[in-house]
A and B are shown apart, each in its own frame.
Chain A
Amino acid sequence: MQPFMLQCEGLTVSFDGIKAVDDLSLYLAQGEIRALIGPNGAGKTTLLDLITGKTKPTSGSVKFKTIELTHLREHEIVRVGVCRKFQTPSVYETLSVFENLEMAYPGSRNWYGAWLFKRTKQVIETVESVAERMGLAELLHATAGTLSHGQKQWLEIGMLLIQDPQVMLLDEPVAGMSVHEREKTIQLLQVLCQGRAVIVVEHDMDFVARIAHQVTVLHQGKSLAEGSMSAVQNDPKVIEVYLGH
């Protein structure tokens, strides 16, 4: 049997005695889109922090295929193939869209490599094709700071995509988007997520229902329920702590 793409087991982290994530286990297969939902403070973003190495767990393990991630530093985890989009759009505002994408192009990641980095035809083509897919082809030379909120979100997703990650973690990818932009994002993600394992943190239930194969409901750092959106929505425990509010 193939190992899981991402496998969290018994993951616990406590801040000053408060367990933000408490004995959590999560398994993701290739091609799966998993949504994480839960009230504020349920530990969704903290879980992403644990997977990406931003926070070190108090106990438990995170594995990408067979590689243990908890011992690696953040940039090493990225290089293995686990990429993350932040909650607020994080792009380099003073640089152009092209430069933003180029920066994420894998390779030449140490100081001398970056200094000697050449903008080859292959780099340009890859950047252009990703921009095309993200609907940013017309804006390649625009300064990223001038983009709309939705475009920044797409740019950041594009910056993940150019690295061709096997695991993508998306923290609120449609937050603050217009209905039209959201629609476009859903269609984009449905294509982009194929062949990868994806975790999406999102409050927008309609979005979650349309994109996720599986939903995990977090509450006080614990997994409260796991299953399809409809199953989770009808779970009395979930209704009580979350949807019932």
Chain B
Amino acid sequence: MKLSLKLDSPTSPKLSTERIAFWATAFIILVVFPVTLSAFRLGLIGKYLCYAFPALGLVLCWGYCGILSLGQGVFFGLGGYCMAMFLKLEASDKASTSIQSTPGIPDFMDWNQLKELPIFWLPFESLPLALLAVVLVPGLLALVVGLAMFKRRVTGVYFAIITQAIAAILSILIIGQQGYTGGVNGITDLKTMLGWDIRSDSAKLILYFVNAGFLLAAIAMSQHLLHSKLGRLLVAVRDREDRVRFTGYDVAQLKTFVFVLAAMLSAIGGAMFTLQVGFMSPSFVGIDPSIEMVVAAAVGGRVSVLGAVYGSLLVNFGKTFFSEHFPELWLFMMGVLFIAVVMAFPSGLAGINLAEIRTRLLKRFKSKPLLTPEPKAPETHDPSPSTGHAGGGL
């Protein structure tokens, strides 16, 4: 299960490279994509970038701290549902739902013979409360799950299986409680946010930039975290949990923290997804999307914060591309993509080291070995090759 990862020592003078990579990514997202792509394609990119949030959370939680969660879709979905519930209530005012037998409640509730709004929907009439719920509901769930698991020292595969079970449970619950949740169709027909039409082209463009801003802020925050002692502690917990514990740290607390953080990031992605796509459904909650998030993190490079962005772009672009061109085969092709990347580059796109590839290739063709010393660190945080990849592919 344990991959050998060469990890960049966080205090090594890599800050400048990391900064350049960060601003290059910001430039690509904020300038290159909006300038070169059509509104439709840009909308797709905006959607893909929502998946970078859970992937980013997984980089912190799984890549750095060694906690593999197969249930990030739960938090993505909860964040998305919290947002959708607010938008749905706004779209279900008395005037536009006057043909229902109970006007003023969401249409799916009316179809399911509900006569009034369920209590847990009430807070979602207020935008501030709904926005708070976007991060707090998934955060609280992660806190409860995290404390329950990590205090009991549930780790590794067992933790992964439990999170996967939670993903299955939540999606089944949402589908089953049609009257309260909209069931398998999800919450659809979202129109406005405080009167602002989120379906218009200008709104879509603004939302793209809001999403990009949140994502870049989340990346900057993650990098700040990873350069602090807390970042080194996460690595220490991954590699030598007992040593950390017997140095006076509460390992359960640290693990719970990173799991909650990953959940909240995931939730922000979910909320932005709802805003940009205009609906939320159980298909973003269950096991499949959760695994896709892990794939995106692995493809991007699980110890690379920026890799999460490129991994999500590549995986979701691949998903769209393959499903458009090979409707029957796309799932297999996604599998091939995943296996190919992980086999060729165990540390993901961010692990591609051009110098090393050159050395390897030259070694093959020349008998004389090159003198280039194998660099120790540049493997992890150098996203420039991946930049070329994802950017060129789109």
> Residue-by-residue, is B1-31 near A (CB-CB < 8 Å gives 1, otherwise 0)?
0000111011110000000000000000000
| B94 beta carbon closer than 8 Å to chain A | no
Question: Known contacts A114-B230, A115-B230: does B9 contact A109 (CB below 8 Å)?
Answer: no
Number of A-B contacts (CB under 8 A): 94
Stretch of B43-51, B55-63, B199-207, B245-253 lying at the A interface = B245-253
> Residue-by-residue, is B221-253 near A (CB-CB < 8 Å gives 1, otherwise 0)?
000010011101101100110111111111101
What residue of chain B has the Cβ atom nearest to residue A165's Cβ? B248
For B247, what are the chain A residues with a Cβ–Cβ distance below 8 Å?
78, 83, 103-104, 159, 163
Stretch of A26-34, A92-100, A188-196, A227-235 lying at the B interface = A92-100
Q: How far is the CA of A79 from the CA of B249 in the complex (A)?
A: 9
Q: How far is the CA of A95 from the CA of B11 in the complex (A)?
A: 9
Q: How far is the CA of A114 from the CA of B245 in the complex (A)?
A: 14
| B149 beta carbon closer than 8 Å to chain A | no
Question: Known contacts A52-B246, A103-B233, A117-B229: does B251 contact A75 (CB below 8 Å)?
Answer: yes
> Residue-by-residue, is A99-110 near B (CB-CB < 8 Å gives 1, otherwise 0)?
100111010111
Q: How far is the CA of A228 from the CA of B27 in the complex (A)?
A: 72
| A1 beta carbon closer than 8 Å to chain B | no
Question: Known contacts A74-B245, A75-B251, A96-B11: does B229 contact A103 (CB below 8 Å)?
Answer: yes
Question: Known contacts A110-B253, A111-B254: does B245 contact A75 (CB below 8 Å)?
Answer: yes
For A102, what are the chain B residues with a Cβ–Cβ distance below 8 Å?
229
| A167 beta carbon closer than 8 Å to chain B | no
B250 near A86: Cβ-Cβ < 8 Å: no
| B257 beta carbon closer than 8 Å to chain A | yes
Q: How far is the CA of A74 from the CA of B243 in the complex (A)?
A: 11
The interface on chain A, measured as residues whose beta carbon lies within 8 A of the other chain's beta carbons, has a size of 35
| A222 beta carbon closer than 8 Å to chain B | no
| A116 beta carbon closer than 8 Å to chain B | yes
> Residue-by-residue, is A124-154 near B (CB-CB < 8 Å gives 1, otherwise 0)?
0000000000000000000100000000000
Interface-centre pick from A91, A94, A103 (highest chain B CB count, 10 A): A94
| A40 beta carbon closer than 8 Å to chain B | no
| Interface positions of A from 54 to 92, Cβ below 8 Å from B | 54, 73-75, 78-79, 83-84, 86, 90-92
Q: How far is the CA of A91 from the CA of B232 in the complex (A)?
A: 13
What residue of chain B has the Cβ atom nearest to residue A117's Cβ? B229
Min distance, Cβ B297 to any Cβ of chain A, angstroms: 19
B236 near A86: Cβ-Cβ < 8 Å: no
B235 near A95: Cβ-Cβ < 8 Å: yes
What residue of chain B has the Cβ atom nearest to residue A73's Cβ? B250
For A92, what are the chain B residues with a Cβ–Cβ distance below 8 Å?
232, 235-236, 239-240, 243
Q: How far is the CA of A108 from the CA of B248 in the complex (A)?
A: 10
Min distance, Cβ B174 to any Cβ of chain A, angstroms: 31
Q: How far is the CA of A159 from the CA of B249 in the complex (A)?
A: 13
Q: How far is the CA of A96 from the CA of B232 in the complex (A)?
A: 10
> Residue-by-residue, is B164-195 near A (CB-CB < 8 Å gives 1, otherwise 0)?
00000000000000000000000000000000
Min distance, Cβ A91 to any Cβ of chain B, angstroms: 7
B250 near A117: Cβ-Cβ < 8 Å: no
A74 near B229: Cβ-Cβ < 8 Å: no
A109 near B230: Cβ-Cβ < 8 Å: no
For A93, what are the chain B residues with a Cβ–Cβ distance below 8 Å?
239-240
Interface-centre pick from A104, A106, A109 (highest chain B CB count, 10 A): A109
For A99, what are the chain B residues with a Cβ–Cβ distance below 8 Å?
9-11, 232
Q: How far is the CA of A73 from the CA of B250 in the complex (A)?
A: 9
For B250, what are the chain A residues with a Cβ–Cβ distance below 8 Å?
73, 75, 109-110
Q: How far is the CA of A109 from the CA of B251 in the complex (A)?
A: 10
What residue of chain A has the Cβ atom nearest to residue B376's Cβ? A143
For B7, what are the chain A residues with a Cβ–Cβ distance below 8 Å?
94
A116 near B228: Cβ-Cβ < 8 Å: yes
For B11, what are the chain A residues with a Cβ–Cβ distance below 8 Å?
96, 98-99
Q: How far is the CA of A110 from the CA of B11 in the complex (A)?
A: 21
B232 near A90: Cβ-Cβ < 8 Å: no
A143 near B232: Cβ-Cβ < 8 Å: no
For A75, what are the chain B residues with a Cβ–Cβ distance below 8 Å?
245-246, 248-251
Min distance, Cβ A111 to any Cβ of chain B, angstroms: 4
What residue of chain B has the Cβ atom nearest to residue A106's Cβ? B248
What residue of chain A has the Cβ atom nearest to residue B6's Cβ? A94
Known pairs A91-B243, A99-B232 / 10 extra A-B pairs, C-beta < 8 Å: A74-B246, A91-B240, A94-B235, A95-B235, A103-B229, A106-B248, A109-B249, A111-B254, A111-B257, A159-B247
Question: Across chains A and B, which 4 residue pairs bring their CB atoms closest together, nearest first?
Answer: A78-B248, A114-B230, A117-B229, A111-B257
A-B contact pairs, 12 of them (CB 8 A): A74-B245, A74-B246, A78-B245, A78-B246, A78-B248, A90-B242, A99-B11, A103-B232, A103-B236, A109-B249, A114-B254, A163-B248
